[in-house]
Amino acid sequence: MKQDPERRASGDRATLRREVLAALRAVVPAHILLSRDEQAVPFECDGLTAYRTVPLVVALPEDEAQVAAILRCCHALRVPVVARGAGTGLSGGALPHERGVTLSLARLDRVLGVDPLACTAAVQCGVRNIAISEAAAPHGLYYAPDPSSQIACTIGGNVAENAGGVHCLKYGLTLHNVLRVRGYTVEGEAIEFGAEAYDVPGLDLLALLVGSEGMLAVATEITVRLVPKPQAARCILASFADVEAAGAAVAEVIAAGIVPAGLEMMDKPMTAAVEDFVQAGYDLDAAAILLCESDGTPEEVDEEIGRMVAVLEAAGATRFEISRSEAERLKFWSGRKNAFPASGRISPDYLCMDSTIPRRRIAEMLRCIADMEARYGLRCCNVFHAGDGNLHPMILFDASDPGQLQRAERFGADILETSVMLGGTITGEHGVGVEKLNSMCVQFSLEEREQMLRVKHAFDPGSLLNPGKVIPTLNRCAEYGRMTVRGGRLPHAELARF
Amino acid sequence: MARTTRPLPAERQLVERVLDAWDRHEALELRGGGTKHFYGEAPRGAVLDLRPLRGVIDYEPTELVVTARCGEPLAEIEALLAEQDQHLAFEPPHFAAGGTVGGMVAAGLAGPARAAAGALRDHVLGVRLLNGRGEILRFGGQVMKNVAGYDVSRLLAGSLGILGIMLEVSLKVLPLPAAVETLGFELPEAEALQRLRAWASRPLPVNASAWHEGRLWVRLAGAQAAVRTAAAALGGQRLDRDEAALWWAAVRDHRHPFFRLDDEALAAGTSLWRLSLPPAAPVLELPGAGFIEWGGAQRWLRSSAPGEAVRQAAQRAGGHATWVRGLARDVGVFTPPSAVTMQLHRRLKDAFDPHRLFNPGRLFPDL
């Protein structure tokens, strides 16, 4: 029996599930569909585990034709579709819709080809980030963006989130390293964004697609740019007696005309946590440590390391170590790359924030965070992609203590809003998802949010692709405004507004 | 980016002008210095001169970001950056004196360094936009990493002004390379292409390349040691630095004789085409003379071949062809996209400029 879409949207969930399943079984094999709650539960959240919803149906397509068929079917039924890669996202971008289909693209995991002459790799969306570099390695090439989750996260997810990593300052984000995306519109029609040529005629829709969190189209095949593996890489580990000096040192490195391959900062609590986890020999007395990397030809690296050391020394570094071997360089990085699991060891739960501020305000931001620790009664460890001003404060809490999650979330929102006031943004690389919907109300005006909604509707007039993410509703922002403007005053009234 | 900035009086006037055009169903041609007037389909509508919106709003060299109003002259921004040993790494073409920052971003063009440094859009960090509803909106910001909401600012790069007026733009800037060296080689086209691709897959500081009439020019840029080592490894003939700089600028701005069509060439029906191809595409069999850049990814063609033939050859090779200049043509300036992509263009135009006020027809005739 056919139902009209309006009734379908409001009918009971079990009936809806039966209908959707029947329609999907008519177009794709039954073995790629999961519909019992116990089968769908593993898909109930992504890396942001505080938010969970069991999807109506999970579809695990094995080829593009099945992706297209599922999209066409859901579009006809007016059923939401949430695309999902490895589920490592940290902002709830892949949080399922309780009345929608979760489209898990992990089985589209073939490397289609590496072209060493063009320096490109064509891969399916479910290929893991690191698998691209592994496939390219025999040609002396690699895929540069390296998010911490690179052993698990998929390139399709990277495209959806515009993922970064520790080498973005020199090598760019996902956006700068993706040439072409083949995918499907919400109607299930094939579409190409970008090209193997460096540009396409007309509007740059690829730039709009990358980072759109699965709300504009579903990416199935991606051609990435590969870069030659540098002959040499060395890393400096520099200690600072106070965070202000470390923050200033970051600006000094840039001012000296150096673009480091990586420039990372950890504060004392973070350093202690990761040292306990990896035993890399970090300086536990330092208020902050910087990791500063150079790559290129051996001569180039020697020259640049010399210049970096001179700048860091003049900026007040109290101790230096320079990696003498590849093993030692990797050891320096081991702690930084394990900041998340290390936080998990020192606290039952943690909330990882992700904002960006102008580099020159890093020290100021750290002071604000220290004040917030006292105000919210929670600890916070800090790890920064200092070179591009991208902060990852880890708010430590215990979810079993009622009230702590709420305090941690308020703490996090406070960090994001302070970042906006300092001239930055609420998310540098993790995306808005569901986690930062409220903070979007702070960063963007009503007109700006409405313009984004019109962009969404240009691609997806019925709001079926990952609905409810990224752009908050007018009501939500009005509600949030009432909640946070306490007594008509914004937090941190002493800060200059930008 | 500034959250609470009030519009300048000149910006308020612009809003009034846009609302007035809406009332009167009038089209507006957005214009900066007019240096790229030749690019795209013929402009239509009442000219809206954006040069009065001048000024650098913020430039903090240690942040690697400059924010300027759309009417700020490109040459002045470049001079300001050069004082701090910084530059716009994508090497924007000037074509003539008087170009503006807004015109540069709207055209979205990059110069010889594009293959190494990335496209103009890769350097756009944020915009303040006046849309076709008379609303002033900010997207992106002044920081390197920013994924809050859709990346509208980069969508505007190369949009030829069809979505709105970019009042302000924030751009990523980079330090000038410590060393630059240009090498020359005598090589036929196919061999030059092969050599360029082989170099691209090695960790060499190749920053620009150009091939024309049997000669290949390669520019190295980077750290002293890297350029020295690479120059020794590649061989070739080392060119005088000042002369080489002038030569690259002439290529960038189409002052090199190859790009000029004199009366004789025009009378013979010669057009200048820009072919954007996968860099490893082989030599295309098209009549006329060629000039290759970007390691093979940008190939200019002087030819009197029918537009359809040029376009089909480019598409067969996985790219597209843009008509740049000439007297007459039998096809549109840009290759029309697929039906599904064209539909998105129309919907996006409606999303930003529902009354079709800005630069109608400039990108595609019916947009």
Contact A420 B197 (CB under 8 A): no
Domains B179-252 and B257-325 share a fold: yes
Q: How far is CA A45 from the centre of its chain?
A: 15
Chain B residues touching A457 at Cβ < 8 A: 347, 351
pLDDT of residue B59: 97
Class (C level, CATH) for B179-252: alpha beta
Q: What is the arithmetic mean of pLDDT over B108-124?
A: 98
Single-letter code of the amino acid located at B356:
R
Question: pLDDT digit string (tens) for B38-49?
Answer: 999 999 999 999
Residue A76: closest CA among A30, A10, A37, A27: A27
CATH ID of A232-341, from 3.30.70.2190, 3.30.365.10, 3.40.50.2300, 1.10.3720.10? 3.30.70.2190
| CA–CA distance, A442 with A319 (Å, rounded to integer) | 41
Interface test with B, best of A72, A115, A117 (most B CBs within 10 A): A117
Class (C level, CATH) for B9-175+347-352: alpha beta
The CATH number of domain A347-484 is 3.40.50.720: no
Q: How far is CA A38 from the centre of its chain?
A: 28
What residue of A is the nearest CA neighbor of B1? Answer: A423
DSSP 8-state code for residue A3? -
Interface test with B, best of A166, A204, A205, A498 (most B CBs within 10 A): A204
Asked whether A297 and A321 are in contact (CB, 8 A), the reply is no
| CA–CA distance, B340 with A223 (Å, rounded to integer) | 20
Contact B201 A139 (CB under 8 A): yes
Q: What is the arithmetic mean of pLDDT over B134-144?
A: 96
Q: What is the ipTM of this complex?
A: 0.97
pLDDT of residue A344: 86
Structure tokens at A383: 């790890």
Of residues A255 and B82, the one with the higher pLDDT is B82
pTM of the model as a whole: 0.95
Mean pLDDT, chain A cut into blocks of 10 residues (498 residues total): 51 93 98 95 94 97 98 98 96 97 98 96 98 98 94 97 91 97 98 98 98 98 97 96 92 92 95 92 95 93 95 96 95 89 90 93 92 96 93 94 92 96 95 96 96 98 97 92 54 43
Q: What is the arithmetic mean of pLDDT over B254-264?
A: 97
Structure tokens at A455: 């962009």
Q: In this complex, which of B147, B226, B294 lies closest to A297 when CB atoms are compared?
A: B226
Asked whether B222 and B179 are in contact (CB, 8 A), the reply is yes
Question: Among residues of chain B, what percentage have pLDDT more than 90?
Answer: 97
pLDDT of residue B345: 98
What residue of B is the nearest CA neighbor of A211? Answer: B147
Contact A423 B141 (CB under 8 A): yes
Chain A residues touching B178 at Cβ < 8 A: 257
Question: pLDDT digit string (tens) for B285-308?
Answer: 999 999 999 999 999 999 999 999
Domains A5-104 and A111-228 share a fold: no
Q: What rounded mean pLDDT belongs to chain B?
A: 96
For A111-228, CATH number? 3.30.465.10
Q: Tell me the CB-side half-sphere exposure of residue B254, using CA atoms within 13 A.
A: 23
Q: Which residue has the tokens 């061989």?
A: B235
Domain boundaries, chain A: 5-104, 111-228, 232-341, 347-484
Count Cβ atoms below 10 Å from residue A72 Cβ, excluding itself.
Answer: 16
Domain boundaries, chain B: 9-175+347-352, 179-252, 257-325
pLDDT of residue A11: 75
- Interior CA angle at B288 toward B287 and B293, to 5°? 115
Q: In this complex, which of B2, B230, B278 lies closest to A197 when CB atoms are compared?
A: B278
pLDDT of residue A95: 98
Class (C level, CATH) for B257-325: alpha beta
pLDDT of residue A148: 87
pLDDT of residue A488: 38
Contact B145 A175 (CB under 8 A): no
Q: What is the arithmetic mean of pLDDT over B128-135?
A: 98
User: At a CB cut-off of 8 Å and minimum separation 6, what does B357 contact?
Assistant: B18, B21, B22, B26, B27, B28, B45, B132
Tell me which fold the domain A5-104 belongs to.
3.30.43
Q: What is the arithmetic mean of pLDDT over B67-84?
A: 98
Chain B residues touching A455 at Cβ < 8 A: 150, 152, 348, 351
